[in-house]
Structure 1
Amino acid sequence: MNKTIISLIVILVVLVAGVIYLTREANDEVADVSATPTDSPALTATPVSTSLPQATPTPTPTPTATPKPSALTIKYTDNGYVPKSVEISAGTKVTFVNESSRLMWTASSPHPTHTDLPAFDSKQGTAMGQNYVFTFTQKGTWSYHNHIKASDTGTITVK
């Protein structure tokens, strides 16, 4: 207990001496710049806390979200759309590439009316090697399918 008190007193004396030294040094610099001398203020006793200094926490950087691409390609194969489900930002241009052996008519659900997002409809079959491009501006989750083979489906979530 005595060692702890003595250690605290020594730390406080060192801190007070450091503050006085730095304050005097700052006052000396001001006096050198000034053209007229000024009286030094009288030192007054200042109460000093006897509590232990608290460690300053190191801020943890906040991870930033990885930006979603502004363009994305979805392949249509003989096994369906790849990837089947994606999440994108509003304004992303999605290219649907037909790599299958049949026509691809990409359109929003439900089949056959395409009323969930009516503008999202290629309105005709796209041949192998061709593509259909649509820019998603409206936020939401949009299911889609191949109108020619309605069991081939996918989902696009626009944030």
Structure 2
Amino acid sequence: MQARTRAILIILAVVIVVVGGFLFVRRAEAPEPLPPSSPATTQPSPAPQPEPQPMGEPQPAPQTVTVNYTGTAFSPSAVTIRAGDTVKFTNGGSSSIWVASGPHPIHTALPDLSSSTLASGASYSYTFTKLGSWGYHNHFNASAQGTVVVQ
């Protein structure tokens, strides 16, 4: 039995040495805790100030231009406006109209320019934001056309 007890003690000693070595190595790898830092005594830096921009010419307020449909044509048939201005299309004819961008019948030049059906006396306003020359027409009478030039 003594040999058996001796073997158990040797195995137990080896296990203790291995576990102790593992814990020692692991502790050596752990970072040292940092000492508590003292509150900063520096003044906060001021927020950067935006540089003043030179003032250009004041932009005029957006305008509204009225285009009337007479029953056979738009009047005026061509208008020139600035980006951000609005064109108010009024149906002064006796039948319904549908103001839409070109080309007829697909209206892809400016798809948002589409009033749907406007009864006699009704109006539709559209604010032009894109520069260019924009054709429009009465979808129910495609020969009634006009142009809005946006500068």
> TM class by shorter-chain length?
0.5 to 0.7
Q: Once the 2 structures are TM-superposed, how far is the Cα of residue 104 of structure 1 from its aligned partner? A: 1.2
CA change 1:146–1:126 in 2 (3 A) is: same
Q: TM-score normalized by structure 2?
A: 0.58
RMSD between aligned residues: 1.4
Unaligned runs of 5+ in 2: 1-59
1:128 is matched with 120
Q: Number of matched residues?
A: 92
Deviation at 1:70, TM superposition (A): 1.1
State yes or no: 1:142 paired with 2:134. Answer: yes
Correspondence for 1:111: 104
Tell me the equivalent position of 1:101: 94
State the 1:69 CA deviation: 6.4
Q: How does 1:18-33 map to 2 (within 5 A)?
A: none
Alignment of 1:42-57 (within 5 A): none
Percent identity between the two aligned chains? 46
Distance 1:91 1:127, change over 3 A: same
Q: Is the 8 A contact 2:62 2:84 kept in 1?
A: no
CA distance in 1, matches of 2:120, 2:126: 18
1:71 to 2:64 alignment: yes
Larger radius of gyration: 2
Determine if contact 1:78/1:100 at 8 Å carries over to the other structure. Answer: yes
Q: Deviation at 1:79?
A: 2.7
Q: Deviations over 1:10-57 (max 9, x none)?
A: xxxxxxxxxxxxxxxxxxxxxxxxxxxxxxxxxxxxxxxxxxxxxxxx
CA offsets, 1:50-107, max 9 Å, x none? xxxxxxxxxxxxxxxxx79611100001231000001000000111000001111000
Q: Report if aligned partners of 2:102, 2:110 keep a CA contact under 8 Å in 1.
A: yes
Report the counterpart of residue 82 of structure 2 in structure 1.
Answer: 89
CA distance in 2, matches of 1:68, 1:81: 25
